[in-house]
Amino acid sequence: MSARAGFDALQGDAEFLVGSSRVLTMDTDGRTLDGYVHVDRGRIARIVERDATADDPSLADLTRVELDERPLMPGFVDPHVHLEMTSSAMWGTVDCRTPPCASIADMLDALSQSRHLRDARGGWLVGQGGLFADRRFSDQRLPTRDDLDTVSTAHPIAVRFGAHITVLNGVGLERLVEQLERLPSPTGDAHLRVDDNDRYSGVIQELFYALPIPELSTDELTEAMLTTARGYLLEQGVTSIGEITDTMQGVSILSGETGAGRLPLGVRAYVWAPGTASMRSSWDHAHDGEHAALANDRFDVAGVKIFVDGGFSAAGAAVLRPYRGTSGWFGRLAYDKDELTEIIRGCRERDLQVAAHVNGEWAQRLMCEAAIAAEAADAGNALPVRLEHAGNLVTSEETIDWWQRAGVSLVPQAGFVWTLGSFIPDYLGDYARAGLFPFESLRQRGVEFGPSSDVAGAELRQFNPLFGVQCATTRESCIGEILDPGEALSVMDGLRAHTRHAANALGVGDDRGSIEVGKRADLVALDIDPRGVDATKIADVSVAGVLKEGLPVTT
């Protein structure tokens, strides 16, 4: 994407007008108008009806960018993304996603043809697969160590299926076991699966971080992150993100690149504890001013990310009813209420927000209990707790009551309608089908939610916020199933969720997410109006141009 859509006419103009017959403001009144947005030194100075400009001499000499019927809207906001993790996942890795790999045989063929890529990862051949591969491969299972051993028994192989599940060959397993002997015992949902013969199957959960795969150099990681940010975020109209961190190296890169102007993206970082840094280290860094030293006008450390439960496919999400086929297994909790209360209070004392991975409603309720307990101690002076993935599955009205009592912020994933919507009932039971992504019911009840992509390398199309809008509108899964069409959002409500509401979830709603006076001039021009296309084609609508704080973005 160039700076087109007329934005290339801006030659360093500090003050100008952008006109469209379809200005989608996403303001509190939901205004759509034929008019101009007056930008002055990176901020929105006025929103003017077209007819009103003729008689206003103060606007007469300003440069005008005319979009005609192309819609103008606020930049998209993605409050939960894994930019560093995705960038690393795509550096020197084999594409094992579905598509293009329809079967384990296809995956093995792709690995065999790409053996040379192990040179880029310190001798490891690394593949990146998609989520729920055990359902999307024609084999209806994950590969095993024995499958991967057909590619090589001399070099380690690791194929990652999303952020939680990885499959290793025999050599890779040996390297992992050796590494675990030198590390603290895994906690939470981390473990090595065994097969029917009580032998390691090659499937590991939450242990990719422990693999002795050499990290990218600073230059390599910087290049990878800039390429991903420009090609998958800015290119698709995303102007602000909440980054779930992977390493402190990545945090430093984001701080440096945004501060130097090489990355025109607003970034709020949530430091993963304990993966990126221990909770105590994060608290100390906040107290000692190290987080403040990283901050600039486009970057800050906003909070801490914790995992309270696991995922559905690994039966780790802490749910309200037993998993299908089990005798009373409800999932795993990594913390108890007292521990969570202490974490919330400790973070709030240091102006850090807690973003909690809580797939299951049991985990969400526990987090709400802790938030209420911490709120009582804080006497109301508190940052809201973020519940990551809340709103993806709601099987009990009491869960919504808990959210509202605790005053939490919800960050579901509309793109998961496509990725995993058809598969959750397979793990939980048919009862779950009625509770999948009840977005319209939540909207009607006045429950605000700010959807995110949660891209970690497995499903790159989820980077596109218009794909999220499409999923929220069509409710179509990756196997063609339509999930309860009564829960479909309108296109306009989907756009509002991915801009205004997502900005609120990220804690920047007073500054971004809508076209209103005083806010940053983060603006996106679309080639066509997504409200007028077939709903199944919304994700195909192109971004014609992007302004970040009034400056044209090129990718």
Beta strands across the sheet bearing 157-161: 94-96, 125-129, 157-161, 165-168, 200-205, 191-194
What pLDDT is attached to residue 185? 72
Question: What span, in angstroms and rounded, lies between the C-alpha atoms of 410 and 367?
Answer: 12
Q: Which residue, 175, 210, 245, sits at the end of a domain? A: 210
Kind and range of the H or E run holding 282: helix 279-287
Is the same domain home to 248 and 260? yes
In a domain, 367, yes or no: yes
What pLDDT is attached to residue 347? 96
Q: Domain limits at 439?
A: 218-512
In a domain, 85, yes or no: no
Question: What span, in angstroms and rounded, lies between the C-alpha atoms of 108 and 148?
Answer: 7
Is the same domain home to 508 and 519? no
What pLDDT is attached to residue 4? 46
- Residue 3's pLDDT band (cuts 50, 70, 90): very low
* pLDDT digits 0-9 by tens, 172-185: 999 999 999 887 77
Those residues whose C-beta lies under 8 Å from the C-beta of residue 431, and which sit 6 or more positions away, are 321, 395, 425
What pLDDT is attached to residue 377? 62
Is the same domain home to 183 and 310? no
Task: Reply yes or no on whether the pLDDT at 157 is more than 70.
Answer: yes
- Residue 32's pLDDT band (cuts 50, 70, 90): very high
Facing residues of 266 across strands? 240
Structure tokens at 374: 């911490």
- Determine the residue type at 278: S
CA angle 308-388-285, nearest 5°?
Answer: 70
Is the same domain home to 187 and 248? no
φ and ψ at residue 425, rounded to 5 degrees = -60, -25
What pLDDT is attached to residue 436? 99
In a domain, 83, yes or no: no
Measuring CA to CA, which residue among 428, 438, 426, 429 is closest to residue 399? 438
Is the same domain home to 288 and 357? yes
Q: Which residue, 156, 184, 210, sits at the end of a domain? A: 210
Task: Reply yes or no on whether the pLDDT at 218 is more than 90.
Answer: yes
What pLDDT is attached to residue 2? 38
Structure tokens at 328: 């009373």
Question: What span, in angstroms and rounded, lies between the C-alpha atoms of 108 and 88?
Answer: 21
In a domain, 82, yes or no: no
What pLDDT is attached to residue 187? 64
In a domain, 84, yes or no: no
H-type helices in 5-103, by residue range? 50-53, 83-90
Those residues whose C-beta lies under 8 Å from the C-beta of residue 552, and which sit 6 or more positions away, are 3, 7, 8, 10, 545, 546
DSSP string, 99-125: TT--SHHHHHHHHHTTGGGGGGGTT-E
Task: Reply yes or no on whether the pLDDT at 52 is more than 90.
Answer: no
Total domains present in the chain: 3
Residue 328 maps to which CATH number?
A: 3.20.20.140
Structure tokens at 64: 């005008």
Is the same domain home to 24 and 149? no
* pLDDT digits 0-9 by tens, 248-306: 999 999 999 999 999 999 999 999 999 899 999 999 999 999 999 999 999 999 999 99
Is the same domain home to 170 and 262? no
Average pLDDT over residues 455-483: 95
- Determine the residue type at 425: P
CB 434 within 8 A of CB 387: no
Helix axes 337-349, 279-287, angle to 10 degrees: 20
Is the same domain home to 297 and 397? yes
Kind of pairing between the strands at 523-526 and 72-74: antiparallel
Average pLDDT over residues 515-533: 98
Structure tokens at 51: 């007819």
φ and ψ at residue 539, rounded to 5 degrees = -65, -15
Is the same domain home to 255 and 327? yes
Residue 9 maps to which CATH number?
A: 2.30.40.10
CB 213 within 8 A of CB 179: no
In the block, tokens 């109006």 appear at: 529
H-type helices in 393-460, by residue range? 397-406, 416-420, 424-428, 439-444
What pLDDT is attached to residue 15? 95
- The three-state secondary structure class of 62 is coil
CB 214 within 8 A of CB 121: yes
DSSP string, 334-398: S--HHHHHHHHHHHHHTT-EEEEE--SHHHHHHHHHHHHHHHHHHTT--PPPEEETTTSB---HH
* pLDDT digits 0-9 by tens, 377-406: 665 557 899 999 999 999 999 999 999 999
Q: What is the pTM of this model?
A: 0.93
Cis, bond preceding 412 (omega within 30 deg of 0): no
* pLDDT digits 0-9 by tens, 319-378: 999 999 999 999 999 999 999 999 999 999 999 999 999 999 999 999 999 999 998 666
Is the same domain home to 14 and 135? no
* pLDDT digits 0-9 by tens, 55-103: 788 888 899 999 999 999 999 999 999 999 999 989 999 999 998 999 9
- The three-state secondary structure class of 236 is helix
Q: What percent of the chain has pLDDT over 70?
A: 97
Those residues whose C-beta lies under 8 Å from the C-beta of residue 96, and which sit 6 or more positions away, are 107, 110, 111, 127, 128, 129, 130, 159
Is the same domain home to 42 and 184? no
What is the CA 274 to chain-centroid distance, rounded? 19
Question: What span, in angstroms and rounded, lies between the C-alpha atoms of 350 and 19?
Answer: 43
Is the same domain home to 294 and 409? yes
What is the CA 138 to chain-centroid distance, rounded? 28
What pLDDT is attached to residue 470? 99
Q: Which residue, 178, 210, 242, sits at the end of a domain? A: 210
Facing residues of 77 across strands? 240
